[in-house]
Structure 1
Amino acid sequence: MPLDQKVADFVTPLIRKYYSRVKIDVDHLSEREFGFGSFESKITTRHHAFQDKGQLQDYLVANAPPFASCSPSLYERPAARPMEAKGWKGAELVFDLDSNDLHLSCQKEHGSSWVCDNCFTAVKDEALKLIEDFLISDFGFSENEIRINFSGNRGYHIHVISDEVMNLNSKERKEMSDYISGNNIDIEAFFPTINERGAHLDGPKLSDFGWGGRIARGVVGALNSGENSLKLLGIDSTNSRRLVRNKAKVIPGIEAGNWDKVKITKKSEFWNNVITNMTIKQSDAIDKNVTNDTSHILRVPNTLHGDTGLIARKIKSIGALEGFDPMKDALAFSDRTVKIHAISVPKLRVRDVSYGPYKDEDVEVGLAAAVYMMLKRVAVLAED
């Protein structure tokens, strides 16, 4: 939906003022391709290049683009076109996590374009899982080799800047994303006797490396959390009750690699389904096109997002991510109030103030909340 022109005229000077006071800096800036977008399209022009942060800053102030993106790839000639003429030098490994891909129940209430506190919490948990359980634990990257950015809207961009990944080709990047998302898991690799009729079911232990240990820890964690957590793994009510009722022997069995403490019929089908349910959330959350495609461009850290008015905030550390609250820590605008006409606004929290839900009414709200609602196309400026 095109943005109301009065809203665009109101927000554009706010964007320009933001860039006139906030300095934007990017590592290896002169080797990256930049792209910019309008309120209607995140990328309307690309193949831009800047020699230094001063040139970039001048462009942002002069043009006040609603969206500013740059490449995770480094090039010899970043402004050249077509892509093959740029002289690719390598690319960071990037993961794009978006709450809209998590199929959360709250989205049925507020729609896929809106983001509530539950959405923010869920996608942050996925980001922490990706970093701690995969990038650090399984792949051995250090925290110093990982960059974390809030996307400015519904999720996070995770960059790995290790020298080991810079020259990976698309096939090698796909192998990493497939591993992380659990694609093509061979169940017999973890349950070697699962297809042998009458055989004792041996399986992974909590301490096993990679997906084996992850499967064991996931099932034990769900057992300790109760029936609802087991149901989220695709286990029916009857078996969920049986497993929880017998967890005092099931958990020690799994710890010893014995998965036969409770008899399950159709074991291969049953555990395949469980593993699939463990991987779907991660698979959907990781945007493979971004991870595998080195020509993709992403939000420039600390620039504004044209669909929210929030800052695509650079986050300093994993610890800082744990405490990060986008609706407090990514706000660009002051607390002054603005009168808007709310068309249909779901509940919204900005800082510690709750707004809405509103329906076809004039209300006075804080500037950050007003910009968020208007850029989400659920409100316009009130008539004088």
Structure 2
Amino acid sequence: MQFPSNKYLIRHLITTAPRHSYHSATYYERPGAETMDQKGYISCDFVVDIDADHIPTNCRQNHDYAICKACGAFFQGEKPLKCSKCDGTKFDKISWICDECLEVSKKQVFNLIENFLLSDFSIPIEDINLYFSGHRGYHVHLKTKAFLDLDQDARREISDYVTGEGFSFKIWDYKMIQNNMMGFSIDDPGWAGKIAKELYNILVLGEPRIKEVFENPIYGKKLSTSLINIIISNRQYLIKQISDKRKIWQVAGIGEKTWIRIFEILRDRIKADIDVVVSIDLHRLIRLEGTLHGKTGFKVMKIKYDNLKDFDPLKDALSFPDDQDNTLDIEISAPISPKIRIGDTNYGPYNLGEKLKLPLNAALFLLCKEVAQIKPPS
């Protein structure tokens, strides 16, 4: 769909009131042509999608839930593969948001921009456009011409780099020489230096931090207690080796397989958690700035990077003035409506059948999450 000007676009949005609105991140010679071949591809923004849905968070267990469509069984947290009561495999899923998961998304934006885009790729900050998605995360658009012109394979390479996927630790010059483990230097460029700095930062914080990191990895298998104790026992030695920029990290009792697992755990703490499918797509549709997200009623909005730290999605992205007198009568239609902060006020949790008069922003959020219905006039 093509519009000759913003005036026609706005008129269309007012007339049709779509629940979700998107625009193409791709530039075409003839964007109004019927087929993709006729459009004439020019280039495409490199878009990075950071969403709490793709990042492990503890809060999900508290506020998400699923209901079996066959028998109505309730499951707190992640949706199961199969219902434990009737073996059904189809569920209605409620995915919520809270301050914790929104903060996790924000931290990943800082990680992506500071530790990869600016430092490793030297992208000028003015070529990085940042948007709140209106839901659980952010969209980062890279406008640098070198990135606009990348093909799909090159976009895959960059995505693999920022996620730490698709390559061996040995290409960072990790190796075993005469039973000596040759590690990395904090001066090494790219991932090698990142691994060395992350390990050093963990070690200097002492035994509690070491246990926290290696007993509770973000992904995959934890280290055994005996291996963690070996790291703790050799903590001062490793700190000195890394701070002195010596690459020999040989520790008795830790072999090559264990070092690789240590590197994996460190990699998962360093990497940017992005949706790779979005970044490699040359014909991506992305949410339209200024419209409302149909799952929250929040605004899709552009943010200055300097303002990201203080940006509060649950206050700054509200669609209507935070007016307690502007209310809507609703009735809870789901088993549970979890707690949510809208502006400076907490709402819920609410239970099935509760009748409420809520400020418009709060009511709209519950309606968009499909846990409530507009209460019919009595």
Provide TM-score, normalisation by structure 1: 0.81
Query: Pairwise mapping of residues 133-212 of structure 1 onto structure 2 (< 5 A)?
Result: 133-194=115-176, 196=177, 198-212=178-192
Query: Pairwise mapping of residues 1-384 of structure 1 onto structure 2 (< 5 A)?
Result: 48-111=1-64, 113-194=95-176, 196=177, 198-225=178-205, 226=209, 227-233=211-217, 234-244=222-232, 246-255=234-243, 256-258=245-247, 260=249, 262-266=251-255, 268-280=256-268, 285-317=273-305, 319-334=306-321, 335=323, 336-342=326-332, 343=334, 344-360=336-352, 361-383=354-376, 384=378
**Are the equivalent residues in 2 in contact too, given 1:95–1:158 (CA < 8 A)?**
yes
Q: Which piece of structure 1 moves more, 251-260 or 52-61? A: 251-260
Cα distance in 2 for residues equivalent to 1:296 and 1:149: 16
- Give the match's secondary structure for 2:182: coil
Deviations along 1:98-134, whole A, 9 cap, x unmatched? 1011121221221261111110011111111111111
Cα distance in 2 for residues equivalent to 1:175 and 1:262: 34
- Give the match's secondary structure for 2:115: helix
Quote how far apart the aligned CAs of 1:309 are.
0.2
Letter in 2 for 1:163: K
Report what 1:16 is aligned to. none
Quote how far apart the aligned CAs of 1:160 are.
0.3
Cα distance in 2 for residues equivalent to 1:282 and 1:216: 11
Cα distance in 2 for residues equivalent to 1:377 and 1:252: 56
**Are the equivalent residues in 2 in contact too, given 1:191–1:201 (CA < 8 A)?**
no
Quote how far apart the aligned CAs of 1:250 are.
2.0
State the identity %: 31
Report what 1:10 is aligned to. none
Runs of 5+ consecutive residues of structure 2 not aligned to the other structure: 65-77, 79-94
Quote how far apart the aligned CAs of 1:285 are.
2.8
Quote how far apart the aligned CAs of 1:261 are.
6.0
Structure 1 residues 371 and 193: alpha-carbon distance in aligned structure 2, compared to 1, 3 A threshold:
same
Cα distance in 1 for residues equivalent to 2:175 and 2:273: 32
Quote how far apart the aligned CAs of 1:283 are.
6.9
**Are the equivalent residues in 2 in contact too, given 1:190–1:203 (CA < 8 A)?**
no
Runs of 5+ consecutive residues of structure 1 not aligned to the other structure: 1-47
Cα distance in 2 for residues equivalent to 1:188 and 1:100: 31
Quote how far apart the aligned CAs of 1:162 are.
0.6
Total equivalences in the alignment: 333
Structure 1 residues 348 and 49: alpha-carbon distance in aligned structure 2, compared to 1, 3 A threshold:
same
Structure 1 residues 206 and 282: alpha-carbon distance in aligned structure 2, compared to 1, 3 A threshold:
closer
Report what 1:8 is aligned to. none
- Give the match's secondary structure for 1:201: strand
Structure 1 residues 166 and 284: alpha-carbon distance in aligned structure 2, compared to 1, 3 A threshold:
closer
Quote how far apart the aligned CAs of 1:274 are.
2.8
- Give the match's secondary structure for 1:260: coil
**Are the equivalent residues in 2 in contact too, given 1:232–1:277 (CA < 8 A)?**
no
Deviations along 1:61-102, whole A, 9 cap, x unmatched? 222211111111111111223212111111111111110111
**Are the equivalent residues in 2 in contact too, given 1:101–1:284 (CA < 8 A)?**
no
Cα distance in 1 for residues equivalent to 2:270 and 2:375: 42
**Are the equivalent residues in 2 in contact too, given 1:67–1:304 (CA < 8 A)?**
yes
Quote how far apart the aligned CAs of 1:153 are.
0.7
Structure 1 residues 232 and 135: alpha-carbon distance in aligned structure 2, compared to 1, 3 A threshold:
farther
Cα distance in 1 for residues equivalent to 2:182 and 2:314: 47
Quote how far apart the aligned CAs of 1:51 are.
2.0
Quote how far apart the aligned CAs of 1:176 are.
0.8
Structure 1 residues 339 and 321: alpha-carbon distance in aligned structure 2, compared to 1, 3 A threshold:
same
Report what 2:68 is aligned to. none
**Are the equivalent residues in 1 in contact too, given 2:164–2:267 (CA < 8 A)?**
yes
Cα distance in 2 for residues equivalent to 1:264 and 1:80: 65
Larger helix share, 1 or 2: 1
